[in-house]
Amino acid sequence: MIVPFWMETMTKFAAKVAIDARMSGHTGIGRYIRNIVNALMQRDDPFQIVLIINPTEDPTAVWDWLSIPKDQLPRIDIIGFGKTVPIYSLQEQFWLPKVVAEKKIDLFHAPHFNIPLLSNVPMLANIHDVTYLTHPESAPHRMGRIYAKYMLKKAVKRVLHVITGTEAASRDIQAHLPVPEERISVIGHGPEEMAGWVAQVRRGSCESISPRVRELSRFILTVGNHLPHKNQITAIEALAKLGPLGFPDLILAIAGPTGRGTAALKKAAKAFGVEDRVEILGAVEDKDLAYLYDNAALMIHPSKAEGFGLPVLEAMRVACPVVVSDIPVLREVAEDGAMFCAPDNAEAFAGAMGQLLLQPNRAESLAKKAVKRACQFSFTKAAEDTSRIYSQLIESLPSKV
């Protein structure tokens, strides 16, 4: 049974746009969902946003992150289900079509490739990257790879439009999936949510920071899950190579959800002799991540594949010097606001980090360029571009009788 949070408003809207927000609590895509929804709700668009959530223990948890001006409240309708409908499940393929039909949705926005295949509603989808196609070792298992490949191909054929974060990601999508360039829009993300958390940390007005985070001695930071394409073993090796350069006590803090790649990171730390200098923090709250960005000597991001690389932009926005992989996505996002190294060249990463650690003026100069570049991105701009796509797609639909 669909459970509305309040009775439908009598206000008439040009159209209803549904956004699947069931992944709002996740890292990565979750941050995208939270920010794009809040930015859309700051606008005075002529369509209603129907937010589809996945209530768990607390069905009102969505209000922990929703930020809506009072005069825009009629523009939001929040619906859920009596029980959790898992992502990538067979259940969602039956439940989502029922929801969009009952709510008379005009346009469905899927923030990932798991679109409702059985629905005939017009759709657009975010395809953030094609990592499972280019780096199949990062998929959870063989069936996961098969599912991703199948759904990605189905999605690009079924949706009216695709949104991705960078030109580099767009090229990857076109290289691996049957979708023409004219059906893809590049809309960047923004670092403002994390910048807000860092501002709170600096003012001392943030909630208490976790002791494990606050008590870290001098550290460098890497952020991301522990999947193979994130290449955090290179960060660990680079840490080991920093010792002879004069930094034998520097800590590497790894922030991000643990998983099937965590054991390999621990094994690498032991193999490189830095087991006591690698702190695997696991998933951290935003306030703790903000503290890490603000207090890190620098950030290292040796990833082999990204769709956008938001942690890099977040670090840049708050003047944390960054050393990143020399891959097209990160070249596009960071421009002159980062130092670049070949993804598997731990010695190059160690050398670049050593330069920044030994030359504070160079680190400060890089940080200033980083802030300037990062300020060119915002979810306000992303919402403006996304709203324009909504309007164009809605206007192209047959008129209702």
Please report the pLDDT score of residue 190 as a whole number.
Answer: 97
Which residues on adjacent β-strands are paired with residue 98? none
Burial category of 200 from C-beta neighbours within 10 Å (exposed 0-12, middle 13-18, buried 19 and up) = middle
Please report the pLDDT score of residue 83 as a whole number.
Answer: 74
Work out the pLDDT band at 14, boundaries 50, 70, 90. confident
Query: With 80 as the cut, is the pLDDT of residue 177 above it?
Result: yes
Report the candidate in 247, 216, 220, 218 with the shortest Cα–Cα distance to residue 232.
220
Can you tell me which residue has the tokens 């609590």? 25
Angstrom distance (rounded) from CA 166 to CA 261? 27
Angstrom distance (rounded) from CA 294 to CA 101? 46
Please report the pLDDT score of residue 206 as a whole number.
Answer: 67
Query: With 80 as the cut, is the pLDDT of residue 122 above it?
Result: yes
Mean pLDDT is lowest, of 1-10, 34-43, 73-82, 118-127, for: 1-10
pLDDT in tens, 18-63: 999 999 888 889 999 999 999 999 998 999 999 998 865 455 678 7
Give the β-pairing of 184-186 and 161-164.
Answer: parallel
The answer to whether the beta carbons of residues 240 and 250 sit under 8 Å apart is: no
Angstrom distance (rounded) from CA 1 to CA 94? 13
Task: Give the mean model confidence (pLDDT) for residues 96-125.
Answer: 95
Query: With 50 as the cut, is the pLDDT of residue 5 above it?
Result: no
> What distances in angstroms separate CA 353 from CA 45, 290, 350, one per listed residue?
46, 21, 5
Burial category of 233 from C-beta neighbours within 10 Å (exposed 0-12, middle 13-18, buried 19 and up) = buried
Work out the pLDDT band at 6, boundaries 50, 70, 90. very low
**Where are the chain's structural domains?**
3-190+379-394, 192-374
pLDDT in tens, 224-235: 999 999 999 999
pLDDT in tens, 216-271: 999 999 999 999 999 999 999 999 999 898 899 999 999 999 988 999 999 999 99
Work out the pLDDT band at 8, boundaries 50, 70, 90. very low
In CATH, the number for domain 3-190+379-394 is 3.40.50.2000
Please report the pLDDT score of residue 60 as a whole number.
Answer: 63
- Burial string for 2-17 (b: 16+ CB within 10 Å, else e) reads eeeeeeeeeeebebbb
Query: With 50 as the cut, is the pLDDT of residue 183 above it?
Result: yes
Task: Give the mean model confidence (pLDDT) for residues 279-296.
Answer: 96
Task: Give the mean model confidence (pLDDT) for residues 135-142.
Answer: 88
Angstrom distance (rounded) from CA 149 to CA 146? 5
Angstrom distance (rounded) from CA 23 to CA 121? 21
> Who contacts 226 (Cβ-Cβ below 8 Å, separation ≥6)?
232, 254, 256, 257, 258, 259, 260, 261, 262, 264, 265
Query: With 70 as the cut, is the pLDDT of residue 1 above it?
Result: no
Which residues on adjacent β-strands are paired with residue 54? none
The torsion region of residue 223 among left (phi > 0), alpha (psi -120 to 50) and beta comes to beta
CATH classification of 192-374, choosing from 3.50.50.60, 3.30.750.200, 3.40.630.30, 3.40.50.2000?
A: 3.40.50.2000
Work out the pLDDT band at 11, boundaries 50, 70, 90. low
Please report the pLDDT score of residue 400 as a whole number.
Answer: 61
Angstrom distance (rounded) from CA 296 to CA 269? 20
Report the candidate in 171, 363, 353, 381 with the shortest Cα–Cα distance to residue 245.
353
Q: Please give the residue that has the higher pLDDT: either 5 or 358.
A: 358
Quote the percentage of the chain above a pLDDT of 70: 94
The torsion region of residue 204 among left (phi > 0), alpha (psi -120 to 50) and beta comes to left
Task: Give the mean model confidence (pLDDT) for residues 67-83.
Answer: 80
Query: With 80 as the cut, is the pLDDT of residue 7 above it?
Result: no
What's the whole-number average pLDDT of the chain?
A: 91
Please report the pLDDT score of residue 12 as a whole number.
Answer: 67
DSSP string, 335-381: GGGSEEE-TT-HHHHHHHHHHHHH-HHHHHHHHHHHHHHHTT--HHH
Q: Do domains 3-190+379-394 and 192-374 have the same CATH topology?
A: yes
> Who contacts 90 (Cβ-Cβ below 8 Å, separation ≥6)?
none
